Chains A and B, each alone.
Chain A
């Protein structure tokens, strides 16, 4: 997948984006050269590797062809590749990281109030006819989970304590 993403970057950005290519090559090299011990683990998670590219503003600004969607995730942006994600990318990335979208959970009303807040205080433009599909997308894909008063400890990375 990294190769695919690198090839894609080469095609779409040409020489002007040689820096990005260099970055991708470095990434590729570091992946190839890492310890053999990790090989089986990495293969097990091969499908998640491309997401390693997802979190820089530069990578997220690439165009979004369907070939970059893996298991429902648009790899360069990390956004859930549901209807409307291109609008979200195009309107949000101008000012801030898409992590601020992906890490947030809100109801439709909550997302709308955030959009209004950005329009009142942060210079966000009128979204016009795009507002509805953007809100639909956000409310559908980034809705809150009810965690109650205290969530269980999950995602614990177990290790043997040596003292």
Chain B
């Protein structure tokens, strides 16, 4: 903890420092934090904290500040880029692009000429093969703009015990930005869809980590039914601007509410398959959970006994205040955040300040469009001074709620939708 707070990120221009970060440092300098940390069981700097810092992935590699990202994002890996957003940075109703988490399986394609970029539609279940330039896509088809929530299938993985395989995401591998593009269904219908179509999958121009150009880093997709939904987009813009390199410039697909890995980046080919797609990361347990639950730590079943993750489960975040707030001179607190439920809507959301003994219902807005996350807020009262946690629990329209404990263990560490919580002190 102390390491991250006291470190000046090495490659970060001072102009990038937010007022929040500056305030934090000033506060630190007064030494209050050290006192508090010790009082609450934080350890002084020692081997352990150095190890933790070295292992935390919180350090900013050289190239990171060049990507235009918010400086407080947490780098889990720089090859491939995997970068997480702390929940308090997701407070905006529509996630600003500089706060969108990054999950890459391979390496971005490098220099891209959007003017010569083409998208090919083909596959066993496409009636014809069609090739569109980006300009043709933009001129031939009607444009749509939706706010769509995208969450990594492994968001929350760090809480699984024993650990799940893959990036150890906290809670911040999720966002809801505004996408503009054309409908997948309009483009597929231009090529023609055979009645035996089962799956729609993407191929992109990213490069395999090994540098082997014969290898595809990732090629996933969704069943034809999901692909043909109104909100399924082939997009060229996020929040009204061209998609940044890390997020798929110049063209990608977006399937809100499903594991974000289904929403391929740098897409130059879409295939309409007559079977479940079999590209890399559609097999060997990737984005799959056991079809029948297994005990924690049990060997991973074969793919035939696994199911591919489709709609993501109900979940919510507390985005205000940031965890660790010391509230002075009052015993009330405004809390707010977002909630989402894959293909479904969130019906209600509650918060608890007593570890689930009692729950209080929050104000919840309807989604601005289908598959957008929903905003919630409430005011909580604390019975005394002291240490509290605020837990948030959303319930979807099918009646499923977030568990307070980490749900069914699975080898890939997917689908942890346990309640998000923040630590508060009433001083």
Contact = CB atoms under 8 A, between A and B. Distances in A.
A72 interface: yes
A59 B29 CA distance: 30
Contacts, number: 210
Contact of B33 (A114, A155, A158): A158
B389 interface: yes
Contacts of B25: 35, 37-38
A70 B51 CA distance: 10
B351 to A, nearest CB: 15
Nearest to A151: B159
Contacts of B8: 30-31, 34, 38, 42
Interface stretch (B58-66, B131-139, B178-186, B191-199): B58-66
Interface string A96-134: 110110111111001001100100111100000000000
A120 B210 CA distance: 13
A114 B165 contact: yes
Contacts of A16: none
Interface in A60-119: 70-73, 78-80, 94-97, 99-100, 102-107, 110, 113-114, 117
Nearest to B215: A123
B306 to A, nearest CB: 15
Contacts of B31: 40
Given A48-B53, A51-B50, A156 B62 contact: no
Nearest to B54: A78
A158 B284 contact: no
Interface size band for B: 35 or more
A155 B1 contact: yes
B6 interface: yes
A56 B27 contact: no
A149 B168 contact: no
Interface string B242-255: 00000000000000
B115 interface: no
Nearest to A106: B163
A24 to B, nearest CB: 9
A41 B28 contact: yes
A45 B45 CA distance: 6
B405 A72 contact: no
Interface string B194-235: 000000000000001110100100000000000000000000
B75 A144 contact: no
A15 interface: no
Interface in B42-85: 42, 45, 47, 49-57, 59-63, 75-80
A111 B167 CA distance: 14
A118 to B, nearest CB: 9
B11 A23 contact: yes
Interface string A128-163: 000000000000000011111111011111111101
B323 interface: yes
Contacts of B423: 153, 156
B323 A156 contact: yes
Interface in B1-38: 1-12, 14, 23-29, 31-33, 36-37
Most chain B CB within a 10 A radius of its CB, from A57, A120, A145, A160: A160
Contact of A44 (B45, B60, B75, B168): B45
Given A38-B25, A51-B59, A146-B161, A158 B326 contact: yes
Nearest to B327: A161
A150 B159 contact: yes
Interface string B378-394: 00000000000100000
Given A41-B28, A42-B6, A121 B280 contact: yes
A95 B159 contact: no
A95 B209 contact: yes
Given A150-B404, A159-B27, A51 B54 contact: yes
A99 B334 CA distance: 37
Contact of B78 (A35, A48, A97, A156): A97
Contacts of B284: 117, 120-121
A57 B79 contact: yes
B49 A48 contact: yes
A112 to B, nearest CB: 12
A47 B45 contact: yes
Contact of B163 (A23, A45, A94, A144): A144
Contacts of A123: 208, 210, 212, 215
A52 B80 contact: no
Given A48-B50, A159-B24, 6 more contacts: A41-B28, A45-B45, A56-B63, A102-B55, A103-B168, A159-B23
Interface of B: 1-12, 14, 23-29, 31-33, 36-37, 40-42, 45, 47, 49-57, 59-63, 75-80, 159, 161-163, 165, 167-168, 208-210, 212, 215, 280, 284, 300, 321-328, 333-334, 389, 404-406, 418, 421-423, 425
28 contacts: A23-B11, A26-B11, A27-B11, A30-B10, A35-B29, A38-B8, A41-B29, A42-B6, A47-B45, A54-B59, A55-B57, A55-B61, A55-B78, A56-B62, A56-B63, A57-B61, A95-B210, A96-B80, A97-B80, A99-B76, A105-B162, A107-B162, A147-B159, A150-B404, A157-B323, A158-B425, A159-B27, A160-B326
Top 6 A-B pairs, shortest CB-CB distance: A78-B54, A37-B29, A56-B61, A123-B210, A161-B325, A147-B161
